[in-house]
Structure 1
């Protein structure tokens, strides 16, 4: 069972027809007993630009329709103001894997640019982890604002 949207159409992930229907979501939760539900409300996986606009009214309807926490995938592509509004509307878990991947990769690149002769891979993770920690701090600060 697939709830809302079309799994094979990432190019159209922001289209209005690619959304989770609250009635379908409630049925899915009741039939499966899931602990949380990732919903399609305007974001998409692996976005590298923060340009998504979320359907906050739909998030509110989904929050009313299902008794489990709502999860937002593709949050790396959502601007801070949109993320804050999504949390206010009922979103509980915000996934930002792409933003963390980008931060990590930039940390490794920066290290290798500064020390091009470096061959010991044990030296890369420190700066990359620091970049990820900074990104996490920035996202959490934005959500708390």
Structure 2
């Protein structure tokens, strides 16, 4: 069977779904209502989009009381979205959060980010607590 990434690309490529997926990059599970607000669509439309993303195993859903919480299904989904975001960025677009506090320190899906996260990483590498082999960091 040949790989068919056009289905996944089509799901991610929809503007509303792309906004919902981007909102989930912070690593926090969100409700349908919260994701609908992020995508500027109705909750009913969001439910339809979310069902497609769950069926494609891009999102996982868990029920807590009467709410359903959605989050990225696996780390490789977050990596894919992050790579797509990096490909679409041009030198004229400011990347990262607008809020200066978030630019200073934040969490991005499953890792530290912002100036403090980068400084911490650089410090751990310079002290040989981590080895950066270009693809991943290895704890020594």
Interval of TM-score (by shorter of Structure 1 and Structure 2): under 0.3
Structure with larger Rg: 1
**TM-score of the two chains, using structure 1 as the length reference:** 0.26
Write 1 or 2 for the structure with the bigger share of strand. Answer: 2
Superposition TM-score, scaled by structure 2 size: 0.26
